Amino acid sequence: MEILLAPHPLLRQKANKLKIIKEEDIKIANQMMEIMDKAPGVGLAANQVGILKQIVTINFEDKVNNKKSKYILFNPSIIKYSIETVVMEEGCLSLPEQYADVERPQDIVVEYIDENKKTVKRAVEGYEARILQHEIDHLSGKLFVDYLSSLKRNILIKKVKKLQNLKKNNER
């Protein structure tokens, strides 16, 4: 399992909802958590590792608000968005070394199934809300660069391709 880089076609596909959560899905989520932590990243969606299932892993530390959180979400959906928005710089493990300012709702209400197969519904704000919106977008085949102008988006994707080519050439 490895992180796919843009413009890989699986990053643009919709992930499938899980009818039931099997042991295999929990294993996948735990592997994703390891990959994300090594990267290092704060969130990872299953289609970023080539698996079209609605699985997201989160592990972040918000030093400003003194909050740490690590958890797995199956079939996550955002059921409410705040009217207030905030602009923050975002990056993505599928677009290494590329960053851009993205405007998103400040607060959300998210609903998902946890690794104990319990339905969780909770209000989330700030940095954590941003991470969840970013990762849940991935499950719909949407990348953070889709919030940018097509010119900016194309520039960032070309930079990723260039980085991939440099890496391939260095491995030869």
Decide if 2 is inside a domain.
no
Place of tokens 């969130």: 43
Decide if 155 is inside a domain.
yes
pLDDT digits (tens, 9 = 90+) for 67-101: 889 999 999 999 999 999 999 999 999 999 999 99
Output the pTM of the full model: 0.94
Decide if 15 is inside a domain.
yes
CA atoms of 29 and 41, how far apart (whole Å) = 14
Domain range for 72: 9-171
pLDDT digits (tens, 9 = 90+) for 21-57: 999 999 999 999 999 999 999 999 999 999 999 999 9
CA atoms of 41 and 49, how far apart (whole Å) = 13
CA atoms of 48 and 1, how far apart (whole Å) = 10
Chain centroid to CA 72: 12
Decide if 4 is inside a domain.
no
Decide if 65 is inside a domain.
yes
Overall number of domains in the chain? 1
Decide if 17 is inside a domain.
yes
Active site residue 135: yes
CATH number, domain containing residue 58: 3.90.45.10
Active site residue: 34, 103, 125, 135, which one? Answer: 135
Decide if 1 is inside a domain.
no
pLDDT band at 163 (very low <50, low <70, confident <90, very high): confident
Confirm if 92 and 143 have CB atoms less than 8 A apart.
Answer: yes
